[in-house]
Structure formats: C-alpha cells, structure tokens
Structure 1
Amino acid sequence: MLAAFEGWNDACQAATDVVHHLISAYESREVRHIRCDGYYDYQVARPMSCHVQGRRRILWPQTTFYDIAVTPDTHILAQIAPEPNYRWLEYCRQSLHIAEEFEVDRVITLGAMFADCPHTRPLPLDVSDGACQCDMDREYNGPVGIPTVLDAKARENGYDATSIWVSIPQYLGSDQCAQATLRMLEALSGCLGVALDAGDLPKKAERWAAQASVLVRCNDELADYVRRLERDYDLEAKAREVASLGAPQAEQLVREAEQYLRDFGSS
C-alpha cells in the first residue's frame, strides 16, 4: 500500500503527485473510500462546490484507494487524501483494515518537506525501513504528520513499512516540483524492484531546475545564499564519504575538503 496525504506533509504537492502520476501512467480503478465524517475540520479542509451535467454538487474531503496495476504481478493499493484533522489512530486502524482486505504485505508512506538545500544538487532523500536510514543520515525529533503515524501503526501490526521523504528548497516557493516527485518515484522503483514509468517527469524536472536557475541569477542575495547551501551540501557529502572509508583515503578527502573551503573563501 502506498499512502500520500495533502497538506503539511506534502510540500509542493510532490508526494501526492507521485500517486497522481501512477494513476495516469497505469491501469487503475477506485476500489475503496473512507468517509470524511468525524475526521475533518471543514473550516480547514473545506468542501468544494462543482457542477456536473448542469447540477451543482458538494464534494466533501475523503480518502480514496486505487488499485494500480504496475505489472501483471505487482499491484499498488494507493491511498490519497487530505491529512485528517481528528482521530488519527482510528483513521490509521481503518486504513490498515482496508490494507488487510487487499492482502497488502508492505506499507510505504510518502512525504515532502521544505528545507535548506540547493536546487543545483540532487534533492535530499530519506528512505527509512525502520532498520536503517539511507541518504540523509540524521535522526529527526519534532512534530510529525499522519504518514509517520500510519507508518508506526503499520509496523505495530506486523507490516513491513517504509517511509520515503524528499526535501525541497524552501526559497523556491510552493509551485509543483517535478524534480521531487521524480526523486520519490525513483526511490519507489527501488523499493518495489520494478522500473516505474517516469513519463514526462524528467522533462518537467529539467524545466523546474532551469526556472530556478533563472530566478537565482536575477537575485544576487539569493545567489549568495544558494552558494552557501551548495558548500554545506558538498561538505556533508564529503563527510559521509570520509566516514565510509579507511584512514589513508579519509585523510586525502579531508585535505581535499580543506582546499575546497580555502578556494570557496577566496572566491
């Protein structure tokens, strides 16, 4: 089961866009819903008015589950919804009951957050299966959203559970970020052992990076800020590389990092 939630956990709609992309790229059908009653504050997640065949309808926030056939042998039960406001534990229990109904053997939650990272480097990705954390080797302490709670409840109920989070440069605002969606789709491919169809996401990601570069070139203060982020990013990458090597190689990398800092300071 793949779960993504609109709102606090979904910077630039990058996480829910993974589900939307899969729905459009593969044969999919709606299979279940969780009614909104008791889970939402309608002053926060407001109902929407729309006209269908000349008649006005009110659309209430709800959870939808899709059966997505990515291969004849691999199906994803995709859960997408606005983040609930109330009764999270009951909501997770209901979600996992549906997972059990469809004989799900693994739960994967998606999330995206704004962070101090440069758009000129691969967007930081955190893939955690509970036993290990990859790429962003740091522990988080602080507020959590419904993906984290669903992930924890899935583990408690005996499911293999994985969380995939991507970081997005906070200086670029809240427009859609195809690069972040693509990063999570690639990580999801690795988790499933299936090469998922990226469609036009690579081209959209290139346009996003090009637009970001234009914005930075037009703002000297922002350009300086991005250069500092690049320096910090590169130093963290060097530090992780040093930590994984033996003493002689580590010393050489330390000298390279020191030279990098001298060159950066004189530029």
Structure 2
Amino acid sequence: MIAAFEGWNDACQAATNVIRHLVGQYESREIRHISCDGYYDYQVARPMMCHAAGYANLIWPQTTFYDITLAPHRHLYAQIAPEPNYRWRNYCSESLAIAEELDVNQIITLGSMFSDCPHTRPLPLSVSDGACQCEGDREYNGPVGIPTVLDVAAADQGFSHASMWVSIPQYLGSDECAAGTLRLLQALGDRIGFAFDTGDLQSKSDHWKAQASILVRCNDQLADYVGHLEHEYDLKQKADAEASLGAPQAEQLVKEAEAFLRNMGE
C-alpha cells in the first residue's frame, strides 16, 4: 500500500499526484474511507461546496483508500488524504488496521519537499527503508509530518515499510511539478518491480523544465543562483561516485594521479 498526504508533506502536489495518476491510468475503485470527524480542523482543511444536477453538496475532507489493478493478478492499494490536524496516533492505527484487513504486506509512504536544488538536474530522491538510509542525503533530524509518523507506526506493528521523498526546487513556486511526480513513480516502480504506464507525465515534465529555464533566462540573479546550485549538485554527484568506489579502485586512482604529477615534473 502506498500513502500520500496533501499539505506540508506534498510540495507542488508531487506526491499525491502519484496516486491521482495511478487512479486515472489504471482500473481503480474506492474501497475504504476514514471519517473526517475528529481528525481535521475545518478552518484549515475546509469543506468544499459542489453543485451537481441542481443540488448543492458539501464535500468534507476525508481519507480514501483505492484498489488499483495493475495487471490481472496484481493489485496496489493506495491511501490519499489531507494531512490530519489532530490525533495522529489514532489516525495511523486506523489506517494500519485497514492495511491489515486488506492483507497488505508493505507500506510505502510518499512525500515531496522544497529544497535548494536545480531544475536542470535529476530531482534529488531520498529512499529510506527502516532505519537504513538507502539513497539520498544523510539521515534527517527535525520536524516530521504524517507520512513519517505512519512509517514509524508501520514499523512498530511489524509491516515491511519504506519512505520515498523527492526534492522540488524552491525557487519555482508551488505550481504542480510533473517532474517530481515522475521521479517518485519511477522509484516506486523500481521498488515493487513493476513498469508503470507514465502516460503524459514525461511531456508534462519536459514542459515544466522548459518553463523553468525561460524563467531563469529572464532573471540574471536567479540564473546566478541556479548556476551555483548546479555546481554544488555536480560536486556532490562526483563525491558520491568516488565514495562508492572500493578501496582498490580508490588506491589505483591515487597512484594514477601521483604518476601524472611525476610526469608533469620531468
């Protein structure tokens, strides 16, 4: 089961749009809900007015669980909701009770966050599995949202679990970021061993990058800032690549560098 939550954990809607994409791309049906009562502050997560067939309806914030058919004998469950305002422990217990009822064997939470990263490079992705940070920057310490709380609760109840976060360039504002959604979708596919239909996400991602590049070209100060981010990004990628080399390869690189310097001095 994958889970994503609107709000603080969902920069540019990149995480929740993974679920919206899957629901729209595959045969899907709503199978469970969690009542909004007791979990939301309606001055923060306000109900919406919807007029249909001449009638006015109030749509209250709620949690929806989907059964998504990926293939004839392969299903994926998805949970999507605004981040609750109250009683997070109870909310996670109720969510995991539904997961257990559905015989879910793994919980994967999705999130997106604003960060100092350039739009001209692959968006940074952090994937953690339990206490092990498998990819991305060093382990995070600080305030957390409901995805992290659900991830920890899943671990406490014995579920296999993972968390995936994509970073979004903070200088581009809060418009939807298809590049972030595509990055998460591809990482999710790698995780579960399934090639998702990406639909129009690639073309939307290319459009997002093109618009960002136009914005940067029109602002010299922003262009300098993005250039700095690109330099920092490339340095980190190079450092990570060198750190991934084993001791024999690293020693060989040192010997080659020393030989080059000796030849330069002769």
Question: C-alpha displacement at 1:73, in angstroms?
Answer: 2.4
Q: Which residue of 1 aligns with 2:108?
A: 108
Instruction: State the percentage of identical aligned residues.
Output: 66
Question: C-alpha displacement at 1:102, in angstroms?
Answer: 0.6
State the superposition RMSD in angstroms.
Answer: 1.5
CA distance in 1, matches of 2:45, 2:256: 51
- The count of aligned residue pairs is 255
Q: Which residue of 2 aligns with 1:222?
A: 222
Give TM-score, length-normalised by structure 1. 0.92
Contact 1:11 1:112 in 2 (8 A): yes
| Cα-to-partner distance string for 1:207-265 (whole Å, 9 max, x where unaligned) | 0000000000000000000000001001111111111123245549999xxxxxxxxxx
CA distance in 1, matches of 2:26, 2:254: 49
Contact 1:238 1:253 in 2 (8 A): no
How do 1:44-59 and structure 2 match up within 5 A? 44-59=44-59
How do 1:175-194 and structure 2 match up within 5 A? 175-194=175-194
Q: Secondary structure at the match of 1:184?
A: helix
Q: Which residue of 2 aligns with 1:91?
A: 91
CA distance in 2, matches of 1:170, 1:253: 41
How do 1:53-202 and structure 2 match up within 5 A? 53-202=53-202
Return 114-123 or 69-78, whichever deviates more: 69-78
Q: Secondary structure at the match of 1:70?
A: strand
CA distance in 2, matches of 1:86, 1:250: 55
- Tell me, which stretches of 5 or more residues in structure 2 are unaligned? 259-266
Distance 1:249 1:168, change over 3 A: farther
Distance 1:250 1:55, change over 3 A: farther
Distance 1:251 1:123, change over 3 A: farther
| Cα-to-partner distance string for 1:127-166 (whole Å, 9 max, x where unaligned) | 1112532331311111000000000000111110010100
Contact 2:128 2:135 in 1 (8 A): no
Give TM-score, length-normalised by structure 2. 0.93
| Cα-to-partner distance string for 1:165-203 (whole Å, 9 max, x where unaligned) | 000000000000000000000000011101011001000
Distance 1:220 1:197, change over 3 A: same
Question: C-alpha displacement at 1:72, in angstroms?
Answer: 1.9
Contact 2:64 2:80 in 1 (8 A): yes
- Tell me, which stretches of 5 or more residues in structure 1 are unaligned? 256-267
Task: Give the counterpart letter for 1:200 in structure 2.
Answer: D
